[in-house]
Structure 1
């Protein structure tokens, strides 16, 4: 289980976002690959969500997995519970100086243990309705990535360190 990460105060987070909008975050595509475990969320104003939300998402092991591919990045968003895994997979690209991680999920899978129970193709959204994360900050020292989603919410993930052989 991933322990709770103390998130930055709302004022500091929003100040970093304003700076990122003005100057860009400097995040490059080669810095993004890895498994990112969701640690904390905030609403569009930077306020904490309903009590227990972050704990529930950590308990479900909500994760964002990014890996390099020919067209940018492969993206996977998944949660797990009692051996069940719900996974959305697709493709992502980094655009602009802020930048935006634009993505589209092309498939959904439900599995239990290693057995695939359900797999569905997902329709592509209209280009102007593509979901995205506006990347605010990648803190390599702390191993965190902070972004605002298309819906306005803020999220912070921690990079899962690969296990040593």
Structure 2
């Protein structure tokens, strides 16, 4: 069986990758993976959306790779902050804010409180969003059900995989 790290390089058919990701989720280790292992920049490679069907529960799409010309990265810092950056040519949109490890193992809650828009090296806008510093101060006390989060089930040296609050799956690589 191919590992998720190997799959991030080999890029199998999206439906094959969905199977690999789901197998990794079933075989996950319930012990905490550790925030320190997430620190760094990860490029989003593949996503699969969860579709809720009335009377049929949740159905996963086969997933899709992101095109190479679209750069979406997630950066976790030692200061427990996250940056989610979307880069399209010279345009760059970065959302950033605090993160925290929830009581349940491998759940990482986050909130975006700052927006930064750039054209090349030129900042066009930088400012607070969604309550800014007030929301950031209240973030640690907010219940998990009111926050966005990822449940990480695979953290390797070259790839990470998680399920989002909405039920979708994602695979990032370095």
- The two structures have a TM-score, normalised by structure 2, of 0.73
Give matches, 1:109-128, under 5 Å: 109-123=116-130, 124=135, 127=143, 128=145
Paired residues of 1:25 and 1:137 also in contact (CA < 8 A): no
What is the aligned-residue RMSD (CA, Å)? 2.4
- CA displacement, residues 12-50 of structure 1 (integer Å, 9 cap, x when unaligned): 422322333xx415411111111100111112244324x
- Asked if residue 48 in structure 1 is aligned to residue 66 in structure 2, the reply is no
- Asked if residue 137 in structure 1 is aligned to residue 154 in structure 2, the reply is yes
Aligned length in residues: 147
Decide which structure has greater helix share.
Answer: 2
Deviation larger for 131-140 or 120-129:
120-129
- Asked if residue 64 in structure 1 is aligned to residue 74 in structure 2, the reply is yes
Paired residues of 1:99 and 1:135 also in contact (CA < 8 A): yes
Higher Cα Rg, which structure: 2
- The two structures have a TM-score, normalised by structure 1, of 0.77
Separation in structure 2 between the aligned mates of residue 106 and residue 26 of structure 1, nearest angstrom: 27
Separation in structure 1 between the aligned mates of residue 128 and residue 61 of structure 2, nearest angstrom: 35
